[in-house]
A = this chain, B = another copy of it.
Amino acid sequence: MKKPYILVVNDDGITAPGIKALIEVSKELGDVVVVAPDKPQSGMGHAITFNSTLHIQQMEVEGVPGYACSGTPVDCVKLAVSTLLAKKPDLIVSGINHGSNSSINVIYSGTMSAAVEGALQDIPSVGFSLLDHSIDANFGAAKVITKNIIGNLLSHPLPKGFCLNVNIPNVNEQLIVGIKICRQAKGNWVEDYDARKDPMGRTYYWLTGKFIIDDDGTDTDEWALANNYVSVVPVKHDITDYEVLKTIKWLANEKV
């Protein structure tokens, strides 16, 4: 059987421990190429670069060919698929992110936006995140889980536009209960900007805030993670609200 061709991306940057873990795992399952930001690009959402230019630097990463890119995670996918790679990847894997991308965090996440961009280009794509923000997070259990999931996905036919958001609890492998297929929990951040004075006496602001889960469903990613399941949320890029679509037909009857 032909070895699958796997593109590895992330948002924490090409030197992050999380991407090294993902490369190690992917190498055991296919031919791997890495295109990842040359610096941390967390929280970049679906940002793209078109008012300035992109630069790349070729390098070997964990024994596979890699490119460090000056742009965002979505830039990395676009540049890889259109320009840098000789052929279309069979799978794009993004991460392993240092920190959770559950619930509404999915829309701010560079890791997940890279996966969504892959799906948009008709390449099955999966973002992986470990619930530990620290630079020295332990990716031991996450590697085992990630390898099993990637292996399973590679051996199944997947629909067009396939994209998964996988979050992994930060606990010992033995404590992981299983995988749960979930919906994105309702939640949002309540910001509390920390206002400070710069040496010139001008105010500047640091983003801080508290994450509020507004959802008591047992079918959500937040519930799964709180109960030591790996959460798997399928993600789509058609963001039409079909429920509201039915209820605002009245607007079309108003004077334009």
The residue from B234, B240, B249 contacting A241, defined by CB atoms under 8 A apart? B234
**A178 in contact with B252 (CB, 8 Å):** yes
Q: Is the interface of A mostly helix, strand, loop or mixed?
A: mixed
Residues of B within 8 A of A205 (CB): 53-56, 79, 83
CB 8 Å contact bits of A57-75 with B (1 = contact, 0 = none): 0000000000000001011
Give the docked Cα–Cα distance between A149 and B248 (Å): 12
Q: How far is the CB of A185 from chain B (nearest CB, A)?
A: 9
**B176 in contact with A108 (CB, 8 Å):** no
Does A255 have its Cβ within 8 Å of any Cβ on chain B? yes
**B181 in contact with A251 (CB, 8 Å):** yes
**A82 in contact with B244 (CB, 8 Å):** no
**A49 in contact with B207 (CB, 8 Å):** yes
21 pairs from A and B in contact (CB 8 Å cutoff): A42-B51, A43-B49, A43-B51, A45-B74, A46-B113, A49-B207, A53-B204, A53-B206, A56-B205, A78-B191, A82-B209, A104-B120, A107-B116, A148-B256, A153-B251, A156-B250, A177-B256, A181-B245, A234-B248, A235-B241, A236-B243
Does A254 have its Cβ within 8 Å of any Cβ on chain B? yes
Residues of B within 8 A of A179 (CB): 251-252, 254, 256
